[in-house]
Amino acid sequence: MRTERRKLLVGLSSLVGLAAIGAVGAATQPKEKVIKILARKFTYSPNHLDLKLGVPVILEFTTADVLMGFNAPDFQVRADIMPGKVEQVRLVPDKVGNFSFLCDIFCGSGHESMNGTITVSA
């Protein structure tokens, strides 16, 4: 009975130790890079993003005029970019190559050409 209790205590203390290591690891991890993107009729600035495979980024959107959309279907990321608001989405580049993004909310006569590219390198 006594040894059982000791085993339990040892088990618990190593769990606490692991949790502490986990907390330190999280605290020292670098913050995800924030990429600011300004949408306006009918472009994104920038309209080309260079990303690294497996390195997540935060895309931070604002619009200079009307409501816009952002859609990067290859990464299943999309956002509504509303006037007067800052919209953030997280993108995880999980494949290498060139991928398109586009505006998916009709915003005027140049809407169809409002797009950009994401290049993910290894």
Q: Give 58 or 66: the residue with its C-beta nearer to Cu ion.
A: 66
Binding-site member from 49, 79, 81, 103 for Cu ion (CB under 5 A) = 103
One-letter identity of residue 12: L
Within 44-83, the residues that bind Cu ion by CB under 5 A are none
Binding-site member from 107, 116, 118, 120 for Cu ion (CB under 5 A) = 107
The DSSP 8-state label assigned to residue 110 in this structure reads T
Q: Residue 90: CA atoms inside 13 Å, Cβ hemisphere, count?
A: 7
What is the pairing mode between strands 33-40 and 43-45? antiparallel
Answer yes or no whether residue 40 interacts with Cu ion by CB under 5 A.
Answer: no
Answer yes or no whether residue 120 interacts with Cu ion by CB under 5 A.
Answer: no
